[in-house]
Amino acid sequence: MTESAEVVVVGAGSAGCVVAGRLAAAGVHVLLFEAGPAQLPSSAVGLLPVGSRDEGLLRYGDEVAPGTVVGAARGGRVGGSSAVNGAYLLRARPGDFGPWPAGWTFESMSPYYERILLPRVRVPIEDMAPAGRSLLAAATAARVPVVSDLDEAEAPVAGPVTLNAARGLRVDTAAAYLGPGVDVREGRIVRRVRGRRRRAIGVETDAGPVAAELVVLCAGSVGTPRLLLRSGIGAARTVAELGAEPVVDLPGVGRGGTDHPEVTLPLALDPGPHDPSRPILEAVAHLVLPEGEVEIRPYTAPFGRAIGGVDDPVLRVGVAAMTSKQRAEVLGGAGVRVHRSGSDAALLAAGVASVRDLLPTRGEAVLGVPLHLCGTARMGDSDEAPADGAGRIRGVEGLYVADGSAVPVVPTRGPHATVIAVAERLSEVLLRG
């Protein structure tokens, strides 16, 4: 007998837990599928379990420059990246919503940010590690406004980061949203969306078919476009190369992704002993330069202390291009290819020069791995966008996206809070029918 549910949600990460939890709380029979293992107990916010020794991760190659492929990892278990990230929870800014579909504005999104169930804390300046205190003191000296709540301020600005943490532990969306009414199937791989006459009727898993009235993809900005392509939804040529039966020719699937490229350089500060309960990032500064906007991220501990299996004993400060022009492509088989922009190189170089004016640094900047990918199955009013303003995949009834892949352009703040708010809003859309 075929397993069935009213709604199948694919991916129990930052967004999928929100969607499944909200629908189940409203009485909808939901099956939540996660390819990775079960949720772990909350981990110390100052440790990032994304190293070579850690399990429950989606690992892939990120081609950050022609011929240069680096290993990248995202959360790949119940809780997703919200269970392994730095717990940064800042909202997008009003200007970020320009490319979004009609009706998606800062004002209309505010209630959904407020609805997020995760705790919100900030480290008081006097309790910060030397890196954060030094940044905020330097910002004050440089006449950059220092505020207590970055969600209420525009760049240029500096201040404490809002964190989804409590008592030194990271709080993920699985802990916040998954109640007893959610039927979670961890360790179950969804191979493709099943359809009939351009309507989703369920999914094909490694344990057989599952029937559903609606299918919601929340497998992340890498996993969701891959699943669409394997289901015959995407550029016809790419679908054919994967050996899938073509369903809808949507060239935007897996293309046009946006991110925050980052470089790091050594900080000439003594971090002191590493306390795992101390967040890896306590304060940031957003600077507006002629080349664009950058975020300055003074990390509180060397990555070699925060990430298992990483050999890097140096305390670092990150410089991220928050108005990046580069675009990323999710490859049909595996990996992500970044199409770099010369303007990004100029922006990052200007950001590094600004950091050297603000903080004591030494050595050269090195390119990091960007992990804020958005827009690989983006919503939009144009037919070029794979999804419409309600998260519906064009040309396929009953199929939705509700994760970071649907976010049209990565915001000028880290996208975690925005991804959760999008999942909150699209959950409401699904309940309204």
At 382, phi and psi to the nearest 5?
Answer: -80, 150
Q: Which helix (H) or strand (E) holds 160?
A: strand 157-160
Q: Give me the residue label for tokens 């909808």.
A: 28
Of the candidates 309, 248, 320, 230, which has an alpha carbon nearest to the alpha carbon of residue 281?
A: 320
- The pairing of beta strand 262-266 with beta strand 208-217: unpaired
Tokens of 167: 């008592």
pTM > 0.95: yes
Catalytic one among 260, 286, 372, 416? 372
pLDDT of residue 55: 85
Q: Give me the residue label for tokens 């269970």.
A: 83
Q: What is the pLDDT along the chain (433 residues), one digit of tens a residue?
A: 789 999 999 999 999 999 999 999 999 999 999 999 888 788 899 999 998 888 888 888 777 667 777 788 888 899 999 999 999 999 999 999 999 999 999 999 999 999 999 999 999 999 999 999 999 999 999 999 999 999 999 999 999 999 999 999 999 999 999 998 899 999 999 999 999 999 999 999 999 999 999 999 999 999 999 999 999 999 999 999 999 999 999 999 999 999 999 999 999 999 889 999 999 999 999 999 999 999 999 999 999 999 998 999 999 999 999 999 999 999 876 688 888 888 999 999 999 999 999 999 999 999 888 889 999 999 999 999 999 999 999 999 999 999 999 999 999 999 999 999 999 999 999 999 8
pLDDT of residue 64: 67
Of the candidates 302, 416, 400, 297, which has an alpha carbon nearest to the alpha carbon of residue 348?
A: 297
Can you list the domains of the chain with their CATH numbers?
A: 3-432 (3.50.50.60)
Q: Rounded to an integer, what is the distance from CA 215 to the centroid of its chain?
A: 21
User: Is 29 part of the annotated catalytic residue set?
Assistant: no
pLDDT of residue 333: 65
pLDDT of residue 334: 66
